[in-house]
Amino acid sequence: MSSFKDFCSKKTVIGLGLGQFLSLLITFTGSASSELAKRGINAPSSQSFINYVLLAIVYGSIVLYRKKALKAKWYFYVPLGLVDVEANYLVVKAYQYTSLTSVMLLDCWTIPCVMLLTWLFLKTKYRFRKIAGVVVCVAGLVMVIFSDVHAGDQAGGTSPLKGDALVIAGATLYAVTNVSEEFLVKNVDRVELMAMLGTFGAIVSAIQISIIERNELISIRWTAGAAIPFAGFSVAMFMFYSLVPVLLQVSGSTMLNLSLLTSDMWSIVIRVIAYNEMVDWLYYLAFAVVVIGLIIYSVGEKEEDQRRADIADEESEHDKLAYKECPSRN
Protein backbone atom coordinates (compact mmCIF):
# COMPACT_ATOMS: atom_id res chain seq x y z
CA MET A 1 0.00 0.00 0.00
CA SER A 2 1.40 3.40 -0.98
CA SER A 3 2.52 5.65 1.85
CA PHE A 4 1.73 9.36 2.17
CA LYS A 5 5.40 10.06 1.48
CA ASP A 6 5.16 8.18 -1.84
CA PHE A 7 2.10 10.18 -2.82
CA CYS A 8 3.78 13.48 -1.95
CA SER A 9 6.73 12.78 -4.23
CA LYS A 10 7.93 15.72 -6.31
CA LYS A 11 6.80 14.12 -9.56
CA THR A 12 3.26 13.48 -8.30
CA VAL A 13 2.81 16.96 -6.85
CA ILE A 14 4.12 18.64 -10.01
CA GLY A 15 1.89 16.45 -12.19
CA LEU A 16 -1.26 17.21 -10.20
CA GLY A 17 -0.54 20.92 -9.74
CA LEU A 18 0.51 21.59 -13.32
CA GLY A 19 -2.40 19.53 -14.61
CA GLN A 20 -4.89 21.71 -12.74
CA PHE A 21 -3.26 24.93 -13.95
CA LEU A 22 -3.57 23.66 -17.53
CA SER A 23 -7.18 22.76 -16.79
CA LEU A 24 -7.83 26.36 -15.70
CA LEU A 25 -6.27 27.63 -18.93
CA ILE A 26 -8.52 25.35 -20.97
CA THR A 27 -11.51 26.61 -18.97
CA PHE A 28 -10.56 30.17 -19.90
CA THR A 29 -10.15 29.35 -23.61
CA GLY A 30 -13.51 27.57 -23.58
CA SER A 31 -15.21 30.55 -21.96
CA ALA A 32 -13.56 32.93 -24.45
CA SER A 33 -14.68 30.80 -27.42
CA SER A 34 -18.20 30.57 -26.03
CA GLU A 35 -18.33 34.35 -25.58
CA LEU A 36 -17.12 34.93 -29.15
CA ALA A 37 -19.73 32.47 -30.46
CA LYS A 38 -22.47 34.38 -28.60
CA ARG A 39 -21.32 37.54 -30.38
CA GLY A 40 -21.61 35.81 -33.75
CA ILE A 41 -17.85 35.59 -34.34
CA ASN A 42 -17.07 32.37 -36.22
CA ALA A 43 -13.31 32.31 -36.87
CA PRO A 44 -11.76 29.25 -35.18
CA SER A 45 -8.62 29.18 -37.35
CA SER A 46 -7.99 32.87 -36.69
CA GLN A 47 -8.27 32.32 -32.94
CA SER A 48 -5.54 29.69 -33.04
CA PHE A 49 -3.36 31.52 -35.58
CA ILE A 50 -1.98 34.06 -33.08
CA ASN A 51 -1.03 31.25 -30.70
CA TYR A 52 0.98 29.46 -33.40
CA VAL A 53 2.71 32.71 -34.39
CA LEU A 54 3.71 33.33 -30.76
CA LEU A 55 5.07 29.78 -30.47
CA ALA A 56 7.06 30.19 -33.70
CA ILE A 57 8.53 33.56 -32.64
CA VAL A 58 9.40 32.69 -29.02
CA TYR A 59 10.66 29.13 -29.41
CA GLY A 60 11.91 29.62 -32.96
CA SER A 61 14.20 32.39 -31.67
CA ILE A 62 15.65 29.99 -29.11
CA VAL A 63 16.26 27.34 -31.78
CA LEU A 64 18.00 29.89 -34.01
CA TYR A 65 20.09 31.17 -31.10
CA ARG A 66 21.32 27.63 -30.38
CA LYS A 67 22.59 27.27 -33.97
CA LYS A 68 22.17 23.51 -33.81
CA ALA A 69 20.68 21.09 -36.30
CA LEU A 70 17.15 19.81 -35.69
CA LYS A 71 17.04 16.51 -33.81
CA ALA A 72 14.09 15.34 -35.90
CA LYS A 73 13.53 15.82 -39.64
CA TRP A 74 11.51 19.00 -40.30
CA TYR A 75 8.93 17.19 -42.43
CA PHE A 76 7.89 15.06 -39.43
CA TYR A 77 6.39 18.21 -37.94
CA VAL A 78 4.24 19.01 -41.00
CA PRO A 79 1.49 16.39 -40.37
CA LEU A 80 1.65 17.16 -36.63
CA GLY A 81 0.98 20.84 -37.33
CA LEU A 82 -1.85 19.98 -39.72
CA VAL A 83 -3.57 17.60 -37.29
CA ASP A 84 -3.18 20.04 -34.39
CA VAL A 85 -4.69 22.93 -36.37
CA GLU A 86 -7.67 20.83 -37.46
CA ALA A 87 -8.23 19.54 -33.91
CA ASN A 88 -8.40 23.13 -32.62
CA TYR A 89 -10.58 24.16 -35.56
CA LEU A 90 -13.15 21.40 -35.00
CA VAL A 91 -13.45 21.92 -31.23
CA VAL A 92 -13.63 25.74 -31.44
CA LYS A 93 -16.13 25.42 -34.32
CA ALA A 94 -18.31 23.22 -32.12
CA TYR A 95 -19.06 26.18 -29.84
CA GLN A 96 -21.14 27.60 -32.71
CA TYR A 97 -23.53 24.64 -32.48
CA THR A 98 -23.56 23.24 -28.95
CA SER A 99 -23.10 24.34 -25.33
CA LEU A 100 -19.88 24.93 -23.39
CA THR A 101 -20.78 22.07 -21.02
CA SER A 102 -21.32 19.62 -23.89
CA VAL A 103 -17.98 20.50 -25.48
CA MET A 104 -16.06 19.97 -22.23
CA LEU A 105 -17.87 16.71 -21.46
CA LEU A 106 -17.46 15.15 -24.89
CA ASP A 107 -13.83 16.22 -25.01
CA CYS A 108 -13.11 13.40 -22.55
CA TRP A 109 -13.32 11.04 -25.57
CA THR A 110 -9.63 11.93 -25.95
CA ILE A 111 -8.77 9.75 -22.93
CA PRO A 112 -9.62 6.26 -24.31
CA CYS A 113 -8.09 7.30 -27.66
CA VAL A 114 -4.85 8.34 -25.93
CA MET A 115 -4.72 5.12 -23.90
CA LEU A 116 -5.19 3.04 -27.05
CA LEU A 117 -2.55 4.96 -29.03
CA THR A 118 0.04 4.95 -26.23
CA TRP A 119 -0.54 1.22 -25.74
CA LEU A 120 -0.13 0.52 -29.47
CA PHE A 121 2.75 2.85 -30.35
CA LEU A 122 4.54 3.86 -27.15
CA LYS A 123 4.09 0.42 -25.51
CA THR A 124 2.66 2.03 -22.36
CA LYS A 125 1.25 -0.54 -19.96
CA TYR A 126 -1.79 0.33 -17.87
CA ARG A 127 -2.14 -1.69 -14.69
CA PHE A 128 -5.28 -2.03 -12.61
CA ARG A 129 -4.75 1.07 -10.44
CA LYS A 130 -4.24 3.36 -13.43
CA ILE A 131 -7.32 1.97 -15.17
CA ALA A 132 -9.28 2.38 -11.92
CA GLY A 133 -8.20 6.02 -11.76
CA VAL A 134 -9.43 6.60 -15.32
CA VAL A 135 -12.78 4.94 -14.57
CA VAL A 136 -13.27 7.08 -11.45
CA CYS A 137 -12.45 10.28 -13.39
CA VAL A 138 -14.92 9.46 -16.15
CA ALA A 139 -17.52 8.58 -13.51
CA GLY A 140 -17.12 12.11 -12.20
CA LEU A 141 -17.91 13.48 -15.66
CA VAL A 142 -21.00 11.27 -15.89
CA MET A 143 -22.13 12.82 -12.60
CA VAL A 144 -21.87 16.24 -14.22
CA ILE A 145 -24.25 15.06 -16.96
CA PHE A 146 -26.75 13.90 -14.35
CA SER A 147 -26.28 17.22 -12.59
CA ASP A 148 -27.23 19.07 -15.77
CA VAL A 149 -30.36 16.95 -16.07
CA HIS A 150 -31.20 17.34 -12.37
CA ALA A 151 -30.72 21.11 -12.48
CA GLY A 152 -32.58 21.46 -15.77
CA ASP A 153 -29.59 23.07 -17.46
CA GLN A 154 -30.30 22.07 -21.04
CA ALA A 155 -28.73 25.08 -22.74
CA GLY A 156 -27.96 23.51 -26.07
CA GLY A 157 -26.85 25.26 -29.23
CA THR A 158 -28.37 25.71 -32.65
CA SER A 159 -27.42 22.19 -33.76
CA PRO A 160 -26.27 20.07 -30.77
CA LEU A 161 -25.72 16.84 -32.73
CA LYS A 162 -23.51 18.58 -35.29
CA GLY A 163 -21.59 20.28 -32.49
CA ASP A 164 -21.15 17.00 -30.62
CA ALA A 165 -19.84 15.28 -33.76
CA LEU A 166 -17.30 18.08 -34.25
CA VAL A 167 -16.10 17.73 -30.65
CA ILE A 168 -15.66 13.96 -30.93
CA ALA A 169 -13.71 14.34 -34.20
CA GLY A 170 -11.56 17.07 -32.66
CA ALA A 171 -10.97 15.02 -29.51
CA THR A 172 -9.75 12.09 -31.62
CA LEU A 173 -7.26 14.37 -33.39
CA TYR A 174 -6.17 15.80 -30.03
CA ALA A 175 -5.31 12.26 -28.96
CA VAL A 176 -3.07 11.86 -32.02
CA THR A 177 -1.25 15.15 -31.31
CA ASN A 178 -0.92 14.44 -27.57
CA VAL A 179 0.68 11.03 -28.14
CA SER A 180 2.93 12.40 -30.91
CA GLU A 181 4.04 15.26 -28.67
CA GLU A 182 4.71 12.86 -25.78
CA PHE A 183 7.00 10.82 -28.05
CA LEU A 184 8.83 13.91 -29.35
CA VAL A 185 9.20 15.50 -25.90
CA LYS A 186 10.74 12.33 -24.48
CA ASN A 187 12.93 11.54 -27.49
CA VAL A 188 13.70 14.84 -29.20
CA ASP A 189 13.45 18.30 -27.61
CA ARG A 190 10.65 20.39 -26.08
CA VAL A 191 11.80 23.73 -27.50
CA GLU A 192 12.28 22.30 -30.99
CA LEU A 193 8.80 20.74 -30.83
CA MET A 194 7.14 24.04 -29.88
CA ALA A 195 9.08 26.00 -32.52
CA MET A 196 8.26 23.64 -35.37
CA LEU A 197 4.65 23.10 -34.25
CA GLY A 198 4.20 26.88 -34.11
CA THR A 199 5.79 27.38 -37.52
CA PHE A 200 3.79 24.79 -39.42
CA GLY A 201 0.66 25.44 -37.36
CA ALA A 202 0.84 29.12 -38.37
CA ILE A 203 1.35 28.22 -42.05
CA VAL A 204 -1.60 25.79 -42.11
CA SER A 205 -3.81 28.25 -40.18
CA ALA A 206 -2.93 31.12 -42.55
CA ILE A 207 -3.84 29.01 -45.61
CA GLN A 208 -7.10 27.93 -43.97
CA ILE A 209 -7.98 31.51 -42.99
CA SER A 210 -7.41 32.78 -46.54
CA ILE A 211 -9.74 30.10 -47.92
CA ILE A 212 -12.47 29.82 -45.27
CA GLU A 213 -12.44 32.77 -42.90
CA ARG A 214 -11.33 35.78 -44.93
CA ASN A 215 -14.82 37.26 -45.27
CA GLU A 216 -15.63 36.48 -41.65
CA LEU A 217 -12.62 38.45 -40.42
CA ILE A 218 -13.51 41.43 -42.59
CA SER A 219 -17.07 41.51 -41.22
CA ILE A 220 -16.06 41.41 -37.52
CA ARG A 221 -16.60 44.63 -35.58
CA TRP A 222 -13.55 44.83 -33.31
CA THR A 223 -15.10 46.26 -30.17
CA ALA A 224 -13.59 45.68 -26.73
CA GLY A 225 -16.16 42.93 -26.16
CA ALA A 226 -14.78 41.04 -29.18
CA ALA A 227 -11.08 41.92 -28.95
CA ILE A 228 -10.58 41.03 -25.26
CA PRO A 229 -11.81 37.41 -25.43
CA PHE A 230 -10.04 36.98 -28.81
CA ALA A 231 -6.70 38.14 -27.40
CA GLY A 232 -7.27 36.34 -24.10
CA PHE A 233 -7.85 33.07 -25.96
CA SER A 234 -4.53 33.45 -27.81
CA VAL A 235 -2.50 34.24 -24.67
CA ALA A 236 -4.08 31.38 -22.70
CA MET A 237 -3.45 28.96 -25.57
CA PHE A 238 0.19 30.06 -25.79
CA MET A 239 0.66 29.38 -22.07
CA PHE A 240 -1.15 26.05 -22.42
CA TYR A 241 0.99 24.90 -25.35
CA SER A 242 4.17 26.00 -23.57
CA LEU A 243 3.39 23.99 -20.43
CA VAL A 244 1.84 20.86 -21.97
CA PRO A 245 5.24 19.35 -22.97
CA VAL A 246 6.40 19.71 -19.35
CA LEU A 247 3.46 17.64 -18.08
CA LEU A 248 3.89 15.15 -20.94
CA GLN A 249 7.51 14.62 -19.92
CA VAL A 250 6.65 14.27 -16.23
CA SER A 251 3.44 12.22 -16.34
CA GLY A 252 2.46 11.36 -19.93
CA SER A 253 -0.48 12.15 -22.20
CA THR A 254 -3.07 10.12 -20.28
CA MET A 255 -2.43 12.12 -17.10
CA LEU A 256 -2.69 15.32 -19.14
CA ASN A 257 -6.13 14.46 -20.46
CA LEU A 258 -7.35 13.20 -17.10
CA SER A 259 -6.31 16.52 -15.54
CA LEU A 260 -8.23 18.44 -18.21
CA LEU A 261 -11.44 16.68 -17.14
CA THR A 262 -11.70 19.12 -14.23
CA SER A 263 -12.00 22.07 -16.65
CA ASP A 264 -15.78 21.63 -16.64
CA MET A 265 -15.84 21.87 -12.86
CA TRP A 266 -13.56 24.92 -12.88
CA SER A 267 -16.01 26.61 -15.24
CA ILE A 268 -18.69 26.06 -12.60
CA VAL A 269 -16.46 27.60 -9.93
CA ILE A 270 -16.01 30.66 -12.15
CA ARG A 271 -19.78 30.89 -12.64
CA VAL A 272 -20.31 30.83 -8.88
CA ILE A 273 -17.55 33.32 -7.98
CA ALA A 274 -17.75 35.75 -10.92
CA TYR A 275 -21.47 35.66 -11.72
CA ASN A 276 -22.98 34.51 -8.38
CA GLU A 277 -24.84 31.71 -10.13
CA MET A 278 -26.31 28.82 -8.17
CA VAL A 279 -25.23 25.33 -9.29
CA ASP A 280 -26.43 21.88 -8.39
CA TRP A 281 -24.71 20.14 -5.46
CA LEU A 282 -23.78 17.21 -7.72
CA TYR A 283 -21.19 19.44 -9.43
CA TYR A 284 -19.19 19.68 -6.22
CA LEU A 285 -19.41 15.93 -5.66
CA ALA A 286 -18.35 15.30 -9.27
CA PHE A 287 -15.35 17.59 -8.83
CA ALA A 288 -14.28 15.63 -5.74
CA VAL A 289 -14.68 12.31 -7.58
CA VAL A 290 -12.50 13.47 -10.50
CA VAL A 291 -9.78 14.68 -8.10
CA ILE A 292 -9.87 11.30 -6.32
CA GLY A 293 -9.50 9.57 -9.70
CA LEU A 294 -6.47 11.73 -10.51
CA ILE A 295 -4.88 10.82 -7.19
CA ILE A 296 -5.50 7.10 -7.78
CA TYR A 297 -3.93 7.36 -11.24
CA SER A 298 -0.94 9.32 -9.89
CA VAL A 299 -0.28 6.81 -7.11
CA GLY A 300 -0.53 3.99 -9.65
CA GLU A 301 2.04 5.78 -11.79
CA LYS A 302 4.33 6.15 -8.77
CA GLU A 303 4.11 2.40 -8.09
CA GLU A 304 4.94 1.59 -11.72
CA ASP A 305 7.96 3.92 -11.63
CA GLN A 306 9.20 2.16 -8.50
CA ARG A 307 8.62 -1.24 -10.11
CA ARG A 308 10.61 -0.22 -13.20
CA ALA A 309 13.41 1.09 -10.98
CA ASP A 310 13.53 -2.21 -9.05
CA ILE A 311 13.68 -4.19 -12.29
CA ALA A 312 16.49 -1.96 -13.59
CA ASP A 313 18.43 -2.47 -10.32
CA GLU A 314 17.99 -6.25 -10.56
CA GLU A 315 19.21 -6.28 -14.18
CA SER A 316 22.21 -4.12 -13.25
CA GLU A 317 23.12 -6.45 -10.37
CA HIS A 318 22.74 -9.47 -12.65
CA ASP A 319 25.08 -7.88 -15.24
CA LYS A 320 27.68 -7.17 -12.56
CA LEU A 321 27.61 -10.79 -11.36
CA ALA A 322 27.88 -12.06 -14.94
CA TYR A 323 30.87 -9.77 -15.57
CA LYS A 324 32.62 -11.03 -12.44
CA GLU A 325 32.14 -14.65 -13.48
CA CYS A 326 33.62 -14.13 -16.96
CA PRO A 327 37.34 -13.97 -15.92
CA SER A 328 37.04 -17.16 -13.84
CA ARG A 329 35.91 -19.06 -16.93
CA ASN A 330 39.02 -18.13 -18.87
Tell me the mean pLDDT in the region 122-139.
79
In terms of DSSP H, where are the helices of 8-127?
10-38, 44-66, 77-94, 100-106, 110-121
Quick: pLDDT tens for 146-187: 665 555 544 555 677 788 788 889 989 999 998 998 899 888
The answer to whether the CB of 254 falls within 8 A of the CB of 115 is: yes
The answer to whether the CB of 55 falls within 8 A of the CB of 229 is: no
What does the pLDDT read at residue 285?
79
What does the pLDDT read at residue 204?
95
- Please give the residue that has the higher pLDDT: either 146 or 128: 128
The answer for residues whose C-beta is within 8 angstroms of residue 272's C-beta and 6 or more apart is 278, 279
What does the pLDDT read at residue 153?
47
Tell me the mean pLDDT in the region 68-84.
93
> What count of other Cβ atoms lies within 10 Å of the Cβ of residue 157?
20
Tell me the mean pLDDT in the region 223-237.
91
Query: For residues 271 and 259, what is the distance between their CA atoms, to the nearest angstrom?
Result: 20
The answer to whether the CB of 252 falls within 8 A of the CB of 89 is: no
In Å, how far from its chain's centre is CA 318? 40
- Please give the residue that has the higher pLDDT: either 36 or 84: 84
Query: For residues 161 and 166, what is the distance between their CA atoms, to the nearest angstrom?
Result: 9
What does the pLDDT read at residue 330?
45
Element housing 213 (H / E): none
- Please give the residue that has the higher pLDDT: either 124 or 84: 84
- Does the structure show a pLDDT above 50 at 260? yes
Quick: pLDDT tens for 38-54: 888 888 899 899 999 99
User: Looking at 6-10, 44-48, 274-278, which range is the least confident one?
Assistant: 6-10
Backbone torsions φ then ψ of 204, nearest 5 degrees: -65, -45
Query: For residues 253 and 110, what is the distance between their CA atoms, to the nearest angstrom?
Result: 10
What does the pLDDT read at residue 309?
47
- Does the structure show a pLDDT above 50 at 136? yes
Query: For residues 265 and 48, what is the distance between their CA atoms, to the nearest angstrom?
Result: 24
pTM: 0.76
Pick the closest to residue 296 from 16, 42, 5 (CA basis).
Answer: 16
- Does the structure show a pLDDT above 80 at 33? yes
Query: For residues 317 and 311, what is the distance between their CA atoms, to the nearest angstrom?
Result: 10
